[in-house]
Amino acid sequence: MILESPLDLIFRDLFYHLRAFAGSHDVYLKLEGFNITGSIKVKTAIALVEDLEQRGIARPNETVIVESSSGNLGIALSLVCAIKGYRFICVTDPNANRANIKGMELYGAKVIVVEDRDPAGGFLGSRLKTIEQILQSEPNAFWLNQYANLANKNVHAEQTANEIAREFDKVDWVFVGTGTTGTLTGISERLRHEFPRIKVVAVEPVGSVTFGGAPGKRNIPGIGTSVRPKLADLANPDKVVAVNEEKTVEACLSFVRDYHLLVGGSTGTVLAAVKQLASEFTLGDTIVAISADLGERYLDTIYERAWVENVIVPEGKTPV
């Protein structure tokens, strides 16, 4: 295989067959962490920038692209903008992995880390306020707004969902971790058309407000929100499962032991949700779960005992 661009490094047909993962039920984990920049977000990044180009808004060497990201979309946009010739500013927060921040900077992005939590206990509200300030001070700046941009949804309907549909004759369950809900909304829209009986499960951490949960402090990036995204209005999951971050860590660690693969925090959250609903599966069900990224970037956090003991609040206890 000869590649003309790093953006061609997207692997669309990688599914890890997890035998007897949920009791007696097998699960197929769609692996997106082998894509360039290490996550599913490279699809989103390409789609958001190309949408800007198709609308005639983006001009190489002039337009400043701005976005809020806890890490994965930020590094993906950094690469896409570097290749296409746009300046990029990423507004992130202390939960972003150091490796992602370093990668963004090496690709040429300007990274702004917002330190203050918003009233819901997260950082998204503070990040969005910072973006407003940038737009006022940078005349050539444009915010992609992944939280409301239909291009975020459409790319996962056209690509991620179709990749699943091509692999399986039927899908009975699909589990998707939710942040902006672009992946969830796109996948559910397309797969409901292909498999009318499918059950779509939205997975988020405890403390996320997307589907009506009580706001709370969260420490694992890439999943959940402290401000409900507009795209969530288009989502219609059959079930919503909220997972405590302690269970996310347990799921990641047990997955390494049992299935020998380091996975990211959102994947651990999704895997914990799969096990939580195992009693509802029927013999012969095809169960697909989305793994947004792998775990190497979480070695200093989720896979570091000292960090977990100092940061993750055990279930049933009140955060300080």
pLDDT in the model for residue 317: 59
Rounded Cα–Cα distance for residues 263 and 251 (Å):
9
Phi, psi angle pair for 68, to nearest 5°: -95, 135
pLDDT in the model for residue 70: 83
pTM of the entire structure?
0.94
- Would you list the DSSP string of 235-280? ---SEEEEE-HHHHHHHHHHHHHHH---B-HHHHHHHHHHHHTGGG
The residues of the chain scoring below 70 in pLDDT are: 313, 315-320
Nearest Cα to Cα of residue 179 among 213, 125, 225, 233: 225
* Structural domains of the chain sorted by starting position, each given as residue range(s) with its CATH number in brackets: 6-31+156-308 (3.40.50.1100), 41-143 (3.40.50.1100)
Considering only the C-alpha atoms of the chain, give the largest distance between any 2 of them, rounded to a whole number of Å.
58
The per-residue pLDDT for range 304-318, each reduced to its tens digit, is 999 999 999 676 555
Q: How many CB atoms lie within 10 A of CB 316?
A: 7
Structural contact between residues 295 and 262, judged by C-beta atoms closer than 8 angstroms:
yes
The per-residue pLDDT for range 141-151, each reduced to its tens digit, is 999 999 999 99
The per-residue pLDDT for range 36-50, each reduced to its tens digit, is 999 999 999 999 999
